[in-house]
Structure 1
Amino acid sequence: MKSIDHPYFGHLEAPSADETEVIWEGAASLGSSKVEAWLWAGPDSGLDVGELDAFATHLAHLPALDTAARAAIRENLRQDRYFIDHHADELDDAEVIRRLTREANGEAISADAFTAAMHPVRIGLWHLTGEAKARIVMDYTIDAETSDELLAVKMADDGTVASVDWES
């Protein structure tokens, strides 16, 4: 089993099985909130110090990732309103939807307002050999208590957004 001691993540051990597993759980600060963070690794990940350092830097500077993720969410919702409309119809009793509806003043809830009301609930850091596309996944929700539906913003290790996907 491969292991490493990292200044940010502490003692890490790569999974010995043939499966990808969470090898670290923690939280990162975003304003006054904490966002759950998971570090995933595969058995052949090698536990690269440079990549772990980059992940630690991203977590320490989470507002920059959040800004990029929200810009991608906003653009996605401007192009396709279905996620907004679905939540407005299905969660019309949720306080956040009632507030957004009131603020829309008879108009449709805007992509800007909806994006601003969303919040990240989890960050996945993917330390996988041979995987170059989505190293960081930030999961956003409009209301975690009433909906398990997320927009997963998938980013390359440099913070560039690769995709925004509706997941549950």
Structure 2
Amino acid sequence: MKSIDHPYFGHLEVPSADGTDVIWEGAASLGSGKVEVRLWADPKSGLDADELDAFATRLAHLPALDTAARAAIREYLRQDRYFIDHHADELDDAEVIKRLTRDANGEAISVDAFTAAMHPVQIGLWHLTGEAEARIVMDYTIDAETSDELLAVKMADDGTVVSVDWES
């Protein structure tokens, strides 16, 4: 199917270019804030109403997705603190790092405190492209204004975490 009218996403058309492209942009509410959302599609794949429905369901239950993502981030950081230590060293003038350092009271910034301070900046919905298991990517940062480095939490369309990757 080259185009579809979807109750959540509205009218969508497969990109005409040779590569994967954004076919819908919007925002989803999470707590008191909004997170930018982009729906990507591959011109070779067509559009599938069931998968679009699954994405809409995940966005309607974004707090549950955020909880799963934060649990995965917490585990990732427990296994390797370098992301925390790197940001503590490189962003020592950022208000969030100053607060986390002050709250640590002479100790290392805790994984739990750092994870709680991170926030999602973008959600990518990958419609029938790439790895079959990673259809939703939630990008988290500690401070978007001072750092372009983030943790990308990749999930299956059912919300199961597939991986956490450090990206910039």
Tell me which interval the TM-score lies in, with the shorter structure as reference length.
Answer: over 0.9
Aligned to 1:55: 55
Distance 1:130 1:110, change over 3 A: closer
Distance 1:42 1:76, change over 3 A: same
Distance 1:110 1:129, change over 3 A: closer
**How far 1:150 moved relative to its partner?**
0.4
Aligned to 1:122: 122
**How far 1:124 moved relative to its partner?**
0.1
1:44/1:129 contact within 8 Å kept? no
- Structure 1: gaps spanning 5 or more residues: none
**How far 1:131 moved relative to its partner?**
3.6
SS at match of 1:51: helix
Alignment of 1:130-145 (within 5 A): 131-145=131-145
- Structure 2: gaps spanning 5 or more residues: none
CA distance in 1, matches of 2:148, 2:130: 30
Q: C-alpha deviations, 1:52-88, integer Å up to 9, x for none?
A: 0010111111000000000000000011000000000
**How far 1:15 moved relative to its partner?**
1.0
Distance 1:144 1:129, change over 3 A: closer
Tell whether 2:10 aligns with 1:10: yes
Number of residue pairs matched by the alignment = 168
Tell whether 2:163 aligns with 1:163: yes
SS at match of 1:35: strand
CA distance in 1, matches of 2:129, 2:22: 15
Aligned to 1:29: 29
**How far 1:129 moved relative to its partner?**
5.0
SS at match of 1:99: helix
